[in-house]
Every structure is written in structure tokens, then in C-alpha cells.
Structure 1
Amino acid sequence: MIERSLFENTETAFALKSDSDLERAYFLFKMISSQPLVRIGTAATNFALKANLPVEGLIRSTVFDHFCGGVNEEDCLPVIDKLFTKGVSSVLDYSVEGKETEVQFDNAVKKILKIIEFCDERQAMPIVVFKPTGFGRFYLYQKKTERQAFTVQEQVEWERIEQRFKAVCELAKAKDVEVLIDGEESWMQDAADELCEKMMRIYNTEKPIVYNTLQCYRWDRLDYLKDLHNRALQNGFKVGMKIVRGAYMEKERLRAEEKGYKSPICETKLATDNNFNAALSYILNHINDIAVFIGTHNEESNYLAMELMESRGIDKTHNNVWFGQLYGMSDHISYNLAEEGYNVAKYIPFGPVKDVMPYLIRRAEENTSVAGQTSRELSLLKAEKLRRKL
């Protein structure tokens, strides 16, 4: 029987945080809980960075160090090692966004290959992650999704994208490291899905190495998952799937409205929750064919996963089931799950402070817009501060 008060254990949740770490976290979430403050802070930070004002030290010692592991892989090592003392693995996420040139795409591949080599030497790092648009222009994914013909030059460019995917998946298979490929906007996602499936057919023949991402705020994704599962059964490969709710909701709805097509996003939060839980149930019912990385900060979905695993006799350490949360958030979920013996990994963003700012700003805005997320963090931090005082 799953203990429903598991995530209330703040002693386990914050065991790695010193008193000053707790105070900083409380201060940050208090700031993030105010929408006007987030807006002002975002504008001021962007201005300061563009004007080359000396603010990187301040950013580094506050928001950056809370949500990021460091500026490079080596810088992240103390964080990785510390987490692993509590049984929590790390997924290094090179969070530099918005690149557009072939040189930048080649550099991104080199970075991921380097991280895979890095993972090979460390038990604490069994998984890597990248974004499809980290390896090629958004425009090409969109054009392919819209079934428009490529020019000769674009076809050559697309083939280079495929080669980048292959280089990463090939080395990952050789080193036995799992690869999570992030989901992005719906109007480019079909092309990314096709590429992910192509990689699964090549590299997931014995076990899941390549994972696509299922964004459950899209109402069509459960059908996509079932169709992919059928193709996998017919063609002899395993499916790897990271399931998340999704990160581009406002952008998706706005575009659908502007262009006059039906929004791909579920109409209500409840419909998204139901979709996520249905996808989770489907995967755990087919655990020998589909591996899952459960990427959620939602307590109910985590409890459901634990209950489904128990009722289906799935071992806590089964490598086809991983739980994941972002570094700096939902420690009450991550560390308590790890303490219970489940496979848990934290996504650890890293990169130069200036380049990672778009990621950090998105994090702050997401926290502000997700009702209850920030107040839950604050109440848990408060409870732990009080527990230590007593």
C-alpha cells in the first residue's frame, strides 16, 4: 500500500540543503510567486545582460545556482556527486537555446557526445537529453511537418540533421546511455516524431535507448502513442517515451487562434491531467514494450505511478521506469521517491550564465503561471525551517 503522506517528509526532501540554502530557496520562490516582480526582474535582467552590466555574479549566486548545476560539465560534478549520495541520478541538460547556424548545431552535437562520454564514466549519469532544434533549424522541421518539398540545399541540410541524431544515438547505444529527445511546438513536432521513430527502429532493437517526448496537454498524443506502440510490435523495436504535460501552451493556443485552426491543446487542465494519467497507465500496462521517463512535478501523477507499479508487480528498480523532476524544484518528490528505492533523476541545466538566461526566465514564468506550484514549494520550505528550529 502506497503511503499517501510520503511527499510531506521535508527532512528527507531538504537533507542536502544547508540553512542558508533553505533561506535562499524560500526567498527565490517568494519572489517568483509575484507576477509583477517576475516581469520587472525579467526586463531588468535582460537589459543588464544586453548592456554588459556586471550582474552575472549576482545572477550566479541566486537564481542560477538554485536552478542550474554550473557553467560547464566539470562545474556540475559537485552537484551530481551530492545528489547521488541520496540515490538521485542526474540528466545534464545543456540549456542554451535559439541557435541558428550549422556551426552552432555541430557544436551542440559535440557537446552532447562529450556528455555521453562523461556519463560513461559515472554511474550517477545514466541519461542524456537534447532538443531537436538544437541540431537543426526550426524552419526545416516546420516545412517537413507541413509536408512541403525541400529545396536541394534544404534536403542536404536535413540529411545533416539526421546524421547528428544518428551520431548521438549510436554513441549512446555503444555506451549504454539513454537519450531523451525533448518535445517542442506542435507545428514542427511531426518531423521530430518521425526522426525519433527512425532512431528507435535502428537503436531500440534490444532495449530502449532512444526516448521521444509525449506532451500530454495535446489531445492527440494518446492515439499517437498507441499507433507508435503498434508499429513497434510489428517492426520489432522498443518504444522509449518521456511523458510530460507540456511547456508551450500559451504559444500553441495563440497561434491556433491567429491561423484559424483547432487548438492542439486540451481545453481544460483536468483534461490534460486525465490525458497524462491515461498515457502513464497505458505505458505501465505494456512495460515490456515501452520504457517511460515520468517527467512531472504533479504529486497525484507520481502517487498514481507508484500505485500502478505496485498493482502490476513492477519492481521499483525496473530500468523501464524513471521518475524525473527539474533541479531546484519539487525536492519533496525526488528525494522521497529515491529514499523509497525508485529510479529518480534530476534534470540539471547548465551553460554560460548569459546563454542560460532564456531558460531561467521561462522557469520563473512557468512557476508564476502554474497555480499552486510556488505556494507548495514555499509551504514545504517553511515547514522544514520550522522543523529545524524545533
Structure 2
Amino acid sequence: MNQHPALSFDNTANAFAYKSDKDLKKAHFLFSCMGIAPLVKIGTRLTPWAIKSGLPVKGIIRNTIFEQFVGGETLEQTAKVADKLGAYHVQVILDYGVEGGEDGEHGFDHATDEFIRVIEYAATQKNIPFMSIKVTGFARFALLEKLDAASGDKSGFEGTVHTEALTPEEKEEWNKVVARMQRICTAAAEKGIGVLVDAEESWIQDPVDALTMQMMALFNKEKVVVYNTIQLYRHDRLQFLKDSHQTTKSRNFLLGAKIVRGAYMEKERKRAAEMGYASPIQPSKEASDRDYNLALEYAIAHLEEIGLIVASHNEYSNLYATKLLAQRGLPMDYPHIHFSQLYGMSDNITFNLAEAGCPVSKYLPFGPIEDVIPYLMRRAQENSSVSGQTGRELGLIKKELQRRKSAK
């Protein structure tokens, strides 16, 4: 059995070595604000409106929440952040923050070109092994919704997209979506960059799953190029992970699985209540945590057939993954495992995993402020609603500021 070094997420000197005192104080102020729920509620409503109305708020956003959670407005700006992280053995998952094209097919083609540009750029950098895409960046939401409504329960993990309900024009539109996805994955396979397909809302997820599975069948024969994102705050996703694995195994290709807890909880529950169907969300946080850790157990037990990305801000789950590796006698840097946290959050996990020799990255979005606003509003809501997350971040920042003060 491999002897893994004792891992602790309490070492703030490691966690914040890349941040100056000024950076830390700014982060302290920001997380303090995000701990005030009424402020977040007002801010998340007013900010998108202010941007759309052309009010001069970009400077404030750029110097606060944008700087904390986003790499930059351009790839070139983001490169500086990636280099800084690389100095501490932390890799990067690049995410071009586009969500849903405003100008139809032209916008979707443009987003596809941007995704390919990101892949080509990542291939020139030694610490950017992955990039992230959202299918809603190059496919119309309502089209995905219609496909989802027509899909069977098994369509996602079997890779079957049911297009019978579509008009001839919509079928042609869907074919363009498939072609865009294939272009992106072809570029990624040629350049040796992994593609992480983001999860979407449950009512458009089935066609996204099916399309992702089709791409895995094409590109994951020898190595894992394409990864699906599996949200364990949904009560059906542990089984989905197992079913997906059985499909890839029977068809002789590798499964790529990025496992997360989830990002659309309030929206999902609200829609289910309004439309009178059973919520897809777990009944409790404990149920979500249980399924997440069971998903870790399952994936790590089949690591030779599954490329796993442990995308989590939960300290226990990250530690548990390293313990499962040790139990199976696998090294921390086993080729089929990777850890990841969002840029601007949980530095105590990321940098201490890196220090222990684990392959770990920051999920680093970039793009014009107006394009990344939906992402930023989710981060603000998440940090005000995730139990204890803001308090944890603040506590660690305070601890490090105090440590630095004492060391002077």
C-alpha cells in the first residue's frame, strides 16, 4: 500500500501563499458582504439589470466579485492567473463564460469558435489540462427542453437522442448542435486537452447527457477526452453514474465523470413546486453527501475504466477520495484521478492537495463581464446559501492574516 503523507486542510500558510496581504483583506471584505443575505438578494437582482441598462457599474464589479472568482476578461489576462497558480503546482480548467447565445445561430457558431480557441491556447500551456463547455453556449435552450421532454429515462446514459418530436427545421438545428460539439471534441482530442461538459437544469439535462455519451463513444476509446458532469444533489444521479459506466464498459470505451454536488437547487425546487412534479433534488444535504461519497467509492473502485474528476468544496469528500486511493494502493497522482475547486474558493483544499502531490486544478472562468454575470450571481447566491461556506472562508482568511501579523 502506498504511504500517503498526512493531509490537512487547516494549513493556511499553504492555502494563501499566492495572495498578498492586500488580496487577503479584499477577499475578507467580499466574503463578509456575501455573508449578509439581504445584501446578496438585492445585489443579485440589481447587478444584471444595471449591466443591461448600461449603468457604469463594471469598474466596481471588476474590482470586487469579478476579481475574486474570474481569471480575466480575455484569455491573455487569464494567462497571468494561470501562471501564478502554476507556480504552486495548481493546474487550471479554463472556462469561457458564455451561457446561451443572444444572437441565435451566429452566436452559437461564435461560441463554438471561442471554445476551440481556448483548446488551442490550453495546448500551448503546461498547466492547463482541461477546458469546460456548456452545451447551452451553442444550443438553444428551448430546443434542448423539447428534446428532454421527448426522451426516455435511459436516453442519457445510452447516448440516444430522440428527435421524433422535432420539426424538420428543428432536426436540422439539432444536427448543427451535434456538429459543433463534434468540432470541439475533435480539436480537444487532437490537442490532448480534456473537455468537461457542464451540467444543466434537470429539464434539459437528458439531451446533454446523451450528446456527451455519443462524444465519449467517439473520442474516449484509448484515453479520456470527454467528461460528463454528474450532480449528486439529484437523487437519481448515483444510479446514473453506475448505468453510464455499464454502458461505456459494454461498448468498450472509457467513461469520463466529473462529480459535483450541484448548482441549481433553488431553481429546481421552485420549478418542481410550480409545475407539480416531484423535485429531482435530494431530500437533505446528508443524502447528497452520502451519494457523493458513494459515487467516489464506485468510481475509485473502477478507476481503470473511469476518468474521475473530484470537483468538490467539501473537505471530507476530498480527504475521503485520497483515503480510497490509499486503500487501493494507488498513488495520489494516479492518471485517472484529478481534483478541482472553483477559483476564489476553498484555497485551503486546493493548495494543500497540491502540496501533498495530488493533481489539482482551479476552475477558472474568463470572459467579458456581461457574459460572466450569471456565473458570478450563482457564486454570490451559493456563498450566502451554502451552510457555513462563507464562515469557513472568512475563518481561514482571518487565521492567515493573524498568522502573518504574528510572524512580522
Q: Same fold (TM over 0.5)?
A: yes
Summarize the Cα distance change of 1:5–1:287 in structure 2 as closer, same or farther, 3 Å threshold.
closer
Backbone CA RMSD of aligned residues: 1.3
Measured in 1, the distance between the counterparts of 2:364 and 2:176 equals 28
After TM superposition, the structure 1 stretch with the greater mean CA deviation from structure 2, 143-152 or 272-281, is: 143-152
Summarize the Cα distance change of 1:40–1:264 in structure 2 as closer, same or farther, 3 Å threshold.
closer
Report the Cα offset of residue 267 of structure 1.
0.5
| 1:141 corresponds to 2:157 | no
| 1:323 corresponds to 2:339 | yes
Match of 1:300 among 316, 335, 341: 316
User: Contact between 2:122 and 2:193, CA under 8 Å: does it hold in 1?
Assistant: yes
Report the Cα offset of residue 4 of structure 1.
6.8
| 1:153 corresponds to 2:169 | yes
Q: Could you tell me which residue of structure 2 aligns to residue 66 of structure 1?
A: 68
Summarize the Cα distance change of 1:142–1:51 in structure 2 as closer, same or farther, 3 Å threshold.
closer
> Which string of whole-angstrom CA distances, capped at 9 and with x for unpartnered residues, describes residues 90-145 of structure 1?
11111122324111111111011001100111111110110111110111112112
Q: Could you tell me which residue of structure 2 aligns to residue 125 of structure 1?
A: 128
Measured in 2, the distance between the counterparts of 1:22 and 1:257 equals 41
Q: Partner letter of residue 41 of structure 2? A: R
Q: Within 5 Å, which residues of 2 pair with 1:141-220?
A: 141-147=144-150, 149-220=165-236
After TM superposition, the structure 1 stretch with the greater mean CA deviation from structure 2, 281-290 or 244-253, is: 244-253
> Which string of whole-angstrom CA distances, capped at 9 and with x for unpartnered residues, describes residues 341-375 of structure 1?
10101011111112212211111011100010000
* Aligned-partner SS, 2:131: strand
TM-score (normalised: structure 2): 0.93
TM-score (normalised: structure 1): 0.97
| 1:57 corresponds to 2:73 | no
Measured in 2, the distance between the counterparts of 1:197 and 1:62 equals 38
Summarize the Cα distance change of 1:156–1:348 in structure 2 as closer, same or farther, 3 Å threshold.
same
User: Contact between 1:87 and 1:338, CA under 8 Å: does it hold in 2?
Assistant: yes
Measured in 1, the distance between the counterparts of 2:110 and 2:335 equals 31
Structure 2: stretches of 5+ with no match in the other structure? 151-163
User: Contact between 1:2 and 1:303, CA under 8 Å: does it hold in 2?
Assistant: no
> Which string of whole-angstrom CA distances, capped at 9 and with x for unpartnered residues, describes residues 171-225 of structure 1?
1111111000011111111111111110011100001110001110111111111
Q: Could you tell me which residue of structure 2 aligns to residue 12 of structure 1?
A: 14
* Aligned-partner SS, 1:6: coil
User: Contact between 2:44 and 2:381, CA under 8 Å: does it hold in 1?
Assistant: no
Measured in 1, the distance between the counterparts of 2:280 and 2:45 equals 30
Measured in 2, the distance between the counterparts of 1:171 and 1:192 equals 19
After TM superposition, the structure 1 stretch with the greater mean CA deviation from structure 2, 276-285 or 56-65, is: 56-65
After TM superposition, the structure 1 stretch with the greater mean CA deviation from structure 2, 255-264 or 184-193, is: 255-264
Q: Could you tell me which residue of structure 1 aligns to residue 158 of structure 2?
A: none
Q: Could you tell me which residue of structure 2 aligns to residue 225 of structure 1?
A: 241
Measured in 2, the distance between the counterparts of 1:114 and 1:314 equals 35
Q: Could you tell me which residue of structure 2 aligns to residue 115 of structure 1?
A: 118
* Aligned-partner SS, 2:308: strand
Measured in 1, the distance between the counterparts of 2:206 and 2:44 equals 32
Measured in 1, the distance between the counterparts of 2:371 and 2:182 equals 26
After TM superposition, the structure 1 stretch with the greater mean CA deviation from structure 2, 42-51 or 66-75, is: 42-51
Measured in 2, the distance between the counterparts of 1:295 and 1:138 equals 25
> Which string of whole-angstrom CA distances, capped at 9 and with x for unpartnered residues, describes residues 222-256 of structure 1?
11111111111111100000000011111111222
* Aligned-partner SS, 1:322: strand
Summarize the Cα distance change of 1:17–1:187 in structure 2 as closer, same or farther, 3 Å threshold.
same
Q: Partner letter of residue 218 of structure 2? A: I
Measured in 2, the distance between the counterparts of 1:206 and 1:258 equals 45
Give the fraction of aligned pairs with identical amino acids, expressed as a percent. Answer: 48
Measured in 2, the distance between the counterparts of 1:2 and 1:268 equals 33
Q: Partner letter of residue 181 of structure 2? A: F
Q: Partner letter of residue 317 of structure 2? A: S
Q: Within 5 Å, which residues of 2 pair with 1:246-265?
A: 246-265=262-281
Measured in 1, the distance between the counterparts of 2:266 and 2:237 equals 18
User: Contact between 1:4 and 1:303, CA under 8 Å: does it hold in 2?
Assistant: no
Moved over 6 A (4+): 1-5
Measured in 2, the distance between the counterparts of 1:81 and 1:72 equals 15
Measured in 2, the distance between the counterparts of 1:104 and 1:119 equals 22
Report the Cα offset of residue 40 of structure 1.
2.7
Structure 1: stretches of 5+ with no match in the other structure? none
User: Contact between 1:13 and 1:336, CA under 8 Å: does it hold in 2?
Assistant: yes
Measured in 1, the distance between the counterparts of 2:6 and 2:36 equals 30
Report the Cα offset of residue 2 of structure 1.
6.3
User: Contact between 2:7 and 2:352, CA under 8 Å: does it hold in 1?
Assistant: no
Report the Cα offset of residue 50 of structure 1.
3.2
Measured in 2, the distance between the counterparts of 1:111 and 1:367 equals 29
Measured in 2, the distance between the counterparts of 1:370 and 1:4 equals 28
Q: Could you tell me which residue of structure 2 aligns to residue 36 of structure 1?
A: 38
Measured in 1, the distance between the counterparts of 2:282 and 2:4 equals 30
* Aligned-partner SS, 1:7: coil
Measured in 2, the distance between the counterparts of 1:311 and 1:5 equals 15
| 1:97 corresponds to 2:113 | no
* Aligned-partner SS, 1:166: helix
Q: Partner letter of residue 14 of structure 2? A: T
